[in-house]
Amino acid sequence: MEDVIDQLRELNEPVPVPLELPDEDLLVEIEEQLLINLPHDLREFLLKVSDVVYGRLEPVTVTDPQSHTYLPEVAAQAWDDGVPRDLLPICQAGRNYYVVDIEGEVTLWSGDDDELTDETWDSVWHWARDVWLES
In tens, the pLDDT along 50-108 reads 999 999 999 999 999 999 999 999 999 999 999 999 999 999 999 999 999 999 999 99
Strand order of the β-sheet with 96-100 is 88-93, 96-100, 106-110, 115-121
| Residue 74 CB contacts under 8 Å (≥ 6 apart), including other chains | 60, 68, 89, 92
pLDDT band at 21 (very low <50, low <70, confident <90, very high): very high
Question: In sequence order, what are the residues at sequence separation of 6 or more whose Cβ sits closer than 8 angstroms to the Cβ of residue 48?
Answer: 5, 21
Position 113 scores a pLDDT of 97
| pLDDT (average), residues 31-35 | 97
State the Cα–Cα distance between residues 58 and 4, nearest whole angstrom.
Answer: 16
Q: Is residue 113 within 8 Å of residue 59, measured between CB atoms?
A: no
Name the band, by pLDDT with cuts 50, 70 and 90, for residue 33: very high
What pLDDT is stored for residue 135 in this prediction? 86
Query: Which helix or strand (DSSP H or E) is residue 26 part of?
Result: helix 24-34
Cβ contact 111:28 at 8 Å: no
Please tell me whether residue 97 adopts helix, strand or coil conformation. strand
The pLDDT of residue 79:
98
Domains and their CATH numbers in the chain: 2-132 (3.40.1580.10)
pTM here is 0.96
On the question of pLDDT at 17 being above 90, the answer is no
